[in-house]
Amino acid sequence: MILLSDKRIQEVNCIDNKERVISLRDKHEKILIDETRSQISSRSDLFCYARESVINKLIQATNYLPNGYKFLIKEAYRPLSRQRKSFEEAFQEYKRQYPMKTDSQIYDLTCQYVAPVKVAGHPTGGAIDITLLKDGIEVGMGTEFNDIPIEPENLTYLHSNYINNVAKENRKILISCMEKVGFENYPTEWWHWSYGDCYWAFLNNCNALYEPVDEKSVK
């Protein structure tokens, strides 16, 4: 499993293609937004913005949804300032929980849950946190969105063996839809998918397409 702490990802070259970061709202009847923001820490009004190609690919992915299913977006763009704060908060919390681990071990553990700023996908507009609705209700995915991976079950891992069969089938639906149009998953978080960021570029052996975007330039 390749984590965002891997130095090879930090060495990925990026040539930003300057695509706009625009709203996901009202782009397709099968792409809905969780406007409550109850499960994310970002208070930015741009939380449901993404790069144009990301949005177009997500629209294409709706073609593979079974009848009655829709996408629910939890978060897309995240300001750099919020990314830095989230990483530091998670780092300090893990340090409190695991006092016998070294800072290096805590750093790697934190990267399973929050991306370090240099390689974070959300500030580029290339990453989206997504789940499924069926007949207007969120389906069971084995964990809540944004749960923390806990050993040994690691229930948030995309291919965890410890979730029930219903959750496994729902994850298969999400995987099929997203992979068919070119998204890559971050394997410790079933909900996190990206296109064009450093992690995606590393897996596809190419340059990244998107650099982090300052919140002011999006507005």
Annotated binding site: 122, 129, 192
Is there a catalytic annotation at residue 189?
Answer: yes
Rounded CA gap, 142 and 105, in Å?
A: 27
Q: Tell me phi and psi for residue 115, to 5 degrees.
A: -75, 140
Is 170 within 8 Å of 133 (Cβ atoms)? no
Rounded CA gap, 44 and 135, in Å?
A: 29
Name the nearest CA neighbour of 181 among 88, 68, 60, 30.
60
Handedness of CA 34, 36, 41, 44 (dihedral sign): positive
SS3 track for 19-63? CCEEECCCCCCCEEECCCCCCCCCCCCCCCEEEHHHHHHHHHHHH
Which member of 19, 75, 184, 189 is catalytic?
189
Annotated binding site for Zn(2+): 122, 129, 192
Residues that are catalytic: 189
